[in-house]
Amino acid sequence: MISLQVFYEGNVQGVGFRWSIRHIAKGFDITGWVRNLVDGRVELQINGEEDEVLAFLDAVGQSDLRAHIRNQTENKLQNPVAGHGFEIRHD
């Protein structure tokens, strides 16, 4: 199992980015969430088997969202992301 925090920068708010991420996540065996940040970035936290997580991130990068992403930063998390399924957070 691997847990990652990913920050997306670019034109990633107000374009359906979070909804698209959640839609892509439905095709993968991962848990986590995505949310907008006040500084204009989008934060994603996910966990699952490493190959599944990496395939999900690759699917995001190959989707139409790639046109909105200027920079992507990944950090490994020490603790797994809590929860079931994948959701959009509004906090």
Active site residues: 18, 36
What are the beta bridge partners of residue 35?
43
Q: Are strands 69-76 and 2-10 parallel, antiparallel or unpaired?
A: antiparallel
